[in-house]
Amino acid sequence: MLERRSKREGKVTPRAVIENLLQAIERGDVETVVFVARQPDGLIKSGWSNTLHTELLGLLECGKNHVLCNMSE
């Protein structure tokens, strides 16, 4: 119910993000994953698939730049 309401309101939930990611993985469209998540208590968690740490840092930097570009639109 919450997912449907959020979708109607144009909100993207964590579940929707993960479902889209899983679909992309199943299509073979994803090679590497890195994530950062905030828990309800404010604790930050991160994780990643098996890849070089330098590549992970680059992906995080790309994600940061992507967010910054979306903020200016």
Helices first, then strands: H and E counts in the chain: 3, 2
Give the three-class secondary structure for 4.
helix
Q: What is the model's pLDDT at position 10?
A: 74
Q: Is the pLDDT of residue 1 over 80?
A: no
pTM over cut 0.85: no
Q: Which residues contact 3 (CB under 8 A, 6 or more apart)?
A: 13, 15, 16
Q: What letter does residue 40 receive in the DSSP assignment?
A: T
Q: Is the pLDDT of residue 42 over 90?
A: yes
Q: What is the model's pLDDT at position 44?
A: 98
- Quick one: average pLDDT of 16-20? 95
Contact predicate 66/60, CB 8 Å: no
Measured in degrees and rounded to the nearest 5, phi and psi for residue 23 equal -60, -40
Distance, in Å, from the CA atom of 22 to the CA atom of 37, rounded to the nearest integer, reads 17
